[in-house]
Amino acid sequence: MHSESRCARCGPVAPLHVPEHIGPEIVASVVDRIVGAAGPSGRAAAPLWCPWPLPPGWTMTGVAYAGDDRTGVRATAVACAGPAPLGGGPADLVFVAEEPGVGLGTRFAGLSGPDPGPQLAEALTDPGPGHPGHVGQARIRAGGHPTPLWLVHSRADRSAYAGEARGMWLHAIAWPASAGHLLAEDVVLHDLTEWTPPELVYGAPSPYLHGRA
């Protein structure tokens, strides 16, 4: 018998909570859960990273967190959707903040293993611009600080970037793969646990947070 949630392949895992709908009340409820879980432990609340301002035509389409009363909130996710940066239809982005060993970001990237460390180590040995093996960075701002994200391996239908912000892994996963070009623009991530903009626009629930990934 085990008291924790378990995966047949990975063993103990942090249970993932994904509200069925999205709107200001849902976001407020999840923020309260994240902040409340951090209080008794004395540790900082896990950030809930959302692009703000949203790119033109984009909406927030979902929010999620992983954890329970015993472990606290160990990972968070925000989904957004809008027009693809290179045209050709809609695009989706999911931003994940997580403690080491959770594996939520690699799950959305379509990879095995709990952390992107091995792939980041490979990306950090990049030979640089002009070399055929060069891998570009996504330079965003998270919480007011420049935050580089490196392209890591993922399934062919998506692109995935990984880096670090506030002592946690930060992942950005985009569908289709070409939608990753959005991260080459001036993307600013804001932590919704600090303040939720009342002007946020909400869209249809993300299929990727609800199992399509």
Q: What is the mean pLDDT of residues 52-72?
A: 94
DSSP string, 94-128: EEEEE-TT--HHHHHHT-SSS-SHHHHHHHHT---
Burial class (CB in 10 A: 0-12, 13-18, 19+), 106: buried
Kindly give, in sequence order, each residue whose CB lies less than 8 Å from that of residue 34, ignoring residues fewer than 6 positions away: 45, 46, 48, 65, 73, 76, 193
User: Which pLDDT score is estimated for 1?
Assistant: 33
Q: Which residue type does 112 have?
A: S
151 near 180, Cβ under 8 Å?
yes
Portion of the chain with pLDDT greater than 70, in percent: 85
Q: What is the mean pLDDT of residues 152-177?
A: 94
Ramachandran quadrant class, 14 (left: phi over 0; alpha: psi -120 to 50; beta: rest)? beta
User: Which pLDDT score is estimated for 116?
Assistant: 87
Strand-pairing partners, residue 148, are: 139
pLDDT tens-digit map of 111-162:
888 998 777 777 766 645 554 444 467 889 999 999 999 988 889 999 999 9
Whole-model pTM: value is: 0.90
Q: With bands split at pLDDT 50, 70 and 90, how would you rate the model's confidence at 51?
A: very high
Position 3 pLDDT exceeds 70: no
65 near 52, Cβ under 8 Å?
no
User: Which pLDDT score is estimated for 152?
Assistant: 87
Position 12 pLDDT exceeds 80: no
Burial class (CB in 10 A: 0-12, 13-18, 19+), 96: buried
126 near 147, Cβ under 8 Å?
no
Q: With bands split at pLDDT 50, 70 and 90, how would you rate the model's confidence at 49?
A: very high
